[in-house]
């Protein structure tokens, strides 16, 4: 029922068209109850379940399990709302009846991103933990450790007193498929803008002097874990100079340029040519202080982790592997993640000249430790879809049916062909 008592009845084709447009729920704020039709032959033989319709009615909140369509303010950010969608099972009869319709709000308000792809009957119990991950500030820090960028833009501008414009920017750039994840981060932080970056990428950026303090407040309270912490501290020093107005003086500008020389790729050619004698400012010494929270791992893995299904040509042999590949300077981070999964870092972290890689492929560890960990502390974005497929394969590997059934083996190969870079 709508907020004014009107019944919601959508034909099936209209339901999906509205879902694509992220139609706002008319009953947002009311407590709703799921109406689950019976799957018995007797119940579905007549027209007691209206075809293509969604039905709901009011009830006491205390009776509700997975309450839907109810906005709530989330802390610590003010005026940030999350919305839990209402899902209603439909009457589909077959070997595995599971037709489901959804009343939807704007996607950026959801704990579940890409609901039609991520919501499966088997993973129904992860709805609340998905929302917890999305709201958890340590998830944002972990994801920023993986994908975030702290930069100081220095550009010539003849109209300015010092002839140079200085601009601090925090940004995250992802494939356009992960737009929903960027929307989630933007909404939780409450600042920034999202724009296209090339043909297939989108970028979340915060560059406003009024909004940068929100970013600094977040990373001061929930510090970065990897070597990216050093970049953040330089970024913060530069912002302090800008915020005090000292960048409008020669001394302040030169100090920012000296700091920038140690940030990311260093100074652009034009800046080097204009300021050839600027002394470099030493970076703050980085010290790894451990992993602060399990949601940091889920955020970091959403950016840097990989879930692979590996096959060998003989004996239908298949393996499930979880891995993270980093620069060797973050070796301590990988060793700590390995220890988090109760694995010996000596055995599981392999080294090359400039890189370190954590690989966990022992099935008992993957199935009994890694998979439950990420179900409890969920991944977000497209990586979560890879994890769902990874779990499907692990469940099959547990039964060992792929060793005796060619069709089951081929089913795994089919799933394998659609994950990671092959996902459409």
Q: Which stretches of 205-286 are DSSP H helices?
A: 212-221, 228-243, 250-260, 269-274
Query: In the structure, what pLDDT confidence band is assigned to residue 331 with cuts at 50, 70 and 90?
Result: very high
How many helical (H) and strand (E) elements, i.e. helices and strands, does the chain have? 17, 14
Distance CA 117, CA 388 (A): 10
Instruction: Please indicate, yes or no, whether residues 187 and 241 belong to a single structural domain of this protein.
Output: yes
Tokens describing residue 409: 């083996």
Q: Which stretches of 63-136 are DSSP H helices?
A: 115-118, 127-135
Q: Which stretches of 93-211 are DSSP H helices?
A: 115-118, 127-135, 137-147, 179-189
Instruction: Please indicate, yes or no, whether residues 196 and 169 belong to a single structural domain of this protein.
Output: yes
Domain that holds residue 357: 300-422
CA atoms within 13 A on the CB side of 152: 31
Instruction: Please indicate, yes or no, whether residues 123 and 148 belong to a single structural domain of this protein.
Output: no
Distance CA 176, CA 187 (A): 17
Residue 56 lies in a domain: yes
Instruction: Please indicate, yes or no, whether residues 70 and 170 belong to a single structural domain of this protein.
Output: no
Residue with token string 């090339």: 198
Instruction: Please indicate, yes or no, whether residues 154 and 215 belong to a single structural domain of this protein.
Output: yes
Residue 50 lies in a domain: yes
Length of the chain: 424
Instruction: Give residue-wise pLDDT tens across range 310-328.
Output: 887 666 688 899 999 999 9
Q: Is 71 helix (H, G, I), strand (E, B) or coil?
A: strand
Distance CA 271, CA 39 (A): 70
Distance CA 81, CA 109 (A): 7
Whether the predicted pLDDT of 408 surpasses 50? yes
Strands of 355-360's sheet in order across: 305-311, 318-327, 355-360, 349-351
Residue 40 lies in a domain: yes
Residue 315 lies in a domain: yes
Distance CA 224, CA 230 (A): 9
Instruction: Please indicate, yes or no, whether residues 337 and 316 belong to a single structural domain of this protein.
Output: yes
- Candidates 232, 370, 205, 391; CA nearest to 298 is 370
Q: What pLDDT, on the 0 to 100 scale, is given for residue 66?
A: 36
**Final residue belonging to a domain, choices 105, 128, 151:** 128
Instruction: Please indicate, yes or no, whether residues 66 and 158 belong to a single structural domain of this protein.
Output: no
Residue 293 lies in a domain: no
Residue 417 sits in a domain whose CATH number is 3.10.28.10
Residue 290 lies in a domain: no
Whether the predicted pLDDT of 108 surpasses 90? no
User: Cβ atoms within 10 A of the Cβ of 24, count?
Assistant: 13
**Final residue belonging to a domain, choices 62, 93, 128:** 128
Q: Is 329 helix (H, G, I), strand (E, B) or coil?
A: helix
Asked if residues 35 and 56 have their Cβ atoms less than 8 Å apart, the reply is yes
Residue with token string 């298949």: 318
Instruction: Please indicate, yes or no, whether residues 86 and 55 belong to a single structural domain of this protein.
Output: yes
Q: What pLDDT, on the 0 to 100 scale, is given for residue 20?
A: 37
10 Å CB burial of residue 345 (0-12, 13-18, 19+) is middle
Instruction: Give residue-wise pLDDT tens across range 40-63.
Output: 443 444 444 444 444 444 444 444
Instruction: Please indicate, yes or no, whether residues 258 and 150 belong to a single structural domain of this protein.
Output: yes
Instruction: Please indicate, yes or no, whether residues 142 and 123 belong to a single structural domain of this protein.
Output: no
pTM summary value: 0.69
Instruction: Please indicate, yes or no, whether residues 143 and 269 belong to a single structural domain of this protein.
Output: yes
Asked if residues 145 and 228 have their Cβ atoms less than 8 Å apart, the reply is yes
Instruction: Give residue-wise pLDDT tens across range 246-280.
Output: 998 988 999 999 999 888 888 888 898 888 888 77
**Final residue belonging to a domain, choices 108, 128, 148:** 128
Helix, strand, coil tally for the chain in percent (to 5) = 45, 20, 40
Contacts of 195 (CB under 8 A, 6+ apart): 202, 203, 205
Query: In the structure, what pLDDT confidence band is assigned to residue 130 with cuts at 50, 70 and 90?
Result: low
Residue 7 lies in a domain: no
Split into its structural domains, the chain has a count of 3
Going by their DSSP bridges, the two strands 71-73 and 81-83 should be labelled as antiparallel
Residue 294 lies in a domain: no
Helix (H) or strand (E) holding 384: helix 382-399
Distance CA 84, CA 186 (A): 18
Query: In the structure, what pLDDT confidence band is assigned to residue 413 with cuts at 50, 70 and 90?
Result: confident
Q: What pLDDT, on the 0 to 100 scale, is given for residue 345?
A: 52
Instruction: Please indicate, yes or no, whether residues 254 and 325 belong to a single structural domain of this protein.
Output: no
Helix (H) or strand (E) holding 16: helix 12-20
Helix (H) or strand (E) holding 49: none
Instruction: Give residue-wise pLDDT tens across range 152-170.
Output: 999 888 888 888 899 999 9
Distance CA 191, CA 332 (A): 32
Helix (H) or strand (E) holding 382: helix 382-399
């Amino acid at each position: 029922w709508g907020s004014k008592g009107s019944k919601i009845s959508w034909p099936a084709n209209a339901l999906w068209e509205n879902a694509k447009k992220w139609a706002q729920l008319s009953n947002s704020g009311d407590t709703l109850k799921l109406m689950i039709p019976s799957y018995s032959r007797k119940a579905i033989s007549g027209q007691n379940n209206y075809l293509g319709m969604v039905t709901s009615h009011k009830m006491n909140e205390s009776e509700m399990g997975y309450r839907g369509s109810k906005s709530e303010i989330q802390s610590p950010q003010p005026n940030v709302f999350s919305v839990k969608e209402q899902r209603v099972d439909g009457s589909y009869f077959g070997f595995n009846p599971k037709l489901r319709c959804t009343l939807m709000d704007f996607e950026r308000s959801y704990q579940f991103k890409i609901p039609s792809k991520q919501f499966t009957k088997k993973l129904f119990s992860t709805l609340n933990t998905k929302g917890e991950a999305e709201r958890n500030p340590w998830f944002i820090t972990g994801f920023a450790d993986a994908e975030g960028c702290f930069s100081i833009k220095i550009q010539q501008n003849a109209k300015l007193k010092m002839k140079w414009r200085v601009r601090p920017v925090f940004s995250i750039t992802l494939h356009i498929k992960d737009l929903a994840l960027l929307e989630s981060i933007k909404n939780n932080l409450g600042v920034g803008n999202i724009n296209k970056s090339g043909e297939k990428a989108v970028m979340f950026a915060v560059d406003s002097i009024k909004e940068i303090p929100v970013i600094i407040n977040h990373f001061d309270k929930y510090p970065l874990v990897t070597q990216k912490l050093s970049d953040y501290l330089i970024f913060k020093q530069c912002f302090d100079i800008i915020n005090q107005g000292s960048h409008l003086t020669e001394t302040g500008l030169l100090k920012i340029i000296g700091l920038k020389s140690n940030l990311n790729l260093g100074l652009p050619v034009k800046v080097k040519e204009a300021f050839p004698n600027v002394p470099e400012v030493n970076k703050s010494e980085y010290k790894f202080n451990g992993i602060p929270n399990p949601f940091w791992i889920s955020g970091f893995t959403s950016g840097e982790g990989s879930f692979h299904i590996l096959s060998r040509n003989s004996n239908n042999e298949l393996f499930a592997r979880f891995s993270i590949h980093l620069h060797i300077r973050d070796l301590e981070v990988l060793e700590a993640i390995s220890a988090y999964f109760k694995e010996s870092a000596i055995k599981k972290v392999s080294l090359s000249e400039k890189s370190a890689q954590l690989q966990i492929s022992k099935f008992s560890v993957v199935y009994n430790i890694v998979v439950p960990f990420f179900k409890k502390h969920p991944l977000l974005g497209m990586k979560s879809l890879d994890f769902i497929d990874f779990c499907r394969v692990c469940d099959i590997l547990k039964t060992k049916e792929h060793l005796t059934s060619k069709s089951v083996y081929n089913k795994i190969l089919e799933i394998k062909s659609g994950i990671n870079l092959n996902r459409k």
